[in-house]
């Protein structure tokens, strides 16, 4: 396994649409392992393949540190409710902005063995699924931020004052 370089905002690869995965290969298995390692090392809760320079529809998520989820070719089937809160991205280091997302998401994806499965998530998991699937379309959360994009420290300091 290896840590991969995380591409940051301004890198054109982050604005490109990713391609469907047709079959699992040893190279893609290694990519998925590396994506987890890279995400954990950066203290993230999600990472999409384009963030490490690979234009494929692969996402890893772990919102608790104990629930690694691989989503290949994910599709959101259903959403409901809303949540408004702070969101960040490993490709936009040190920044946080307020984004409104669905509070519930149901999605379908393939796992690392290309077995199709459905997943439901609320709150942070719902937010992560939306954020990461946006990456596969070449979209960054900064385009959805309500109000200013702030330094993360200032963002949470301001919330404490309110």
Q: List the beta bridge partners of residue 150.
A: 96
CB of 46 to Ni ion, least distance (A): 6
* Distance separating alpha carbons of residues 58 and 15, to the nearest angstrom: 15
* Active-site annotation holds for 37: no
User: Cβ(69)–Cβ(60) under 8 Å?
Assistant: yes
> Given the rule CB under 5 A, which of 28-36, 83-91, 106-114, 154-162 is the region that contacts Ni ion?
83-91
Q: Is 50 exposed, middle or buried (0-12, 13-18, 19+ CB in 10 A)?
A: buried
CB of 89 to Ni ion, least distance (A): 3
Task: Rule CB under 5 A: choose which of 18, 35, 45, 89 binds Ni ion.
Answer: 89
Q: Which is nearer to Ni ion, 45 or 109 (CB)?
A: 45
Q: Of 140-159, which residues contact Ni ion (CB under 5 A)? A: none
Q: Which of 33, 132, 137, 161 is catalytic?
A: 132
CB of 97 to Ni ion, least distance (A): 12
Q: Is 147 exposed, middle or buried (0-12, 13-18, 19+ CB in 10 A)?
A: exposed
User: What is the 8-class DSSP label of residue 145?
Assistant: -
- List contacts with Ni ion (CB under 5 A): 89
């Amino acid at each position: 396994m290896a840590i991969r370089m995380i591409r940051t905002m301004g890198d054109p690869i982050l604005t490109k649409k990713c391609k469907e995965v047709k079959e699992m290969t040893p190279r893609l298995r290694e990519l998925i392992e590396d994506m987890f390692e890279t995400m954990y090392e950066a203290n993230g809760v999600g990472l999409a393949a384009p963030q490490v320079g690979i234009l494929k529809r692969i996402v890893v998520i772990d919102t608790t540190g104990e629930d690694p989820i691989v989503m290949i070719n994910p599709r959101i089937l259903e959403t409901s409710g809303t949540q408004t809160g702070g969101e960040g991205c490993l490709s936009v280091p040190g920044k946080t902005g307020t984004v409104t997302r669905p509070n519930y998401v149901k999605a379908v994806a393939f796992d690392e063995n290309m077995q199709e499965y459905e997943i439901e998530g609320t709150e942070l998991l719902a937010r992560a699924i939306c954020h990461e699937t946006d990456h596969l379309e070449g979209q960054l959360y900064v385009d959805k931020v309500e109000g200013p994009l702030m330094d993360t420290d200032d963002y949470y300091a301001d919330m404490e004052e309110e």
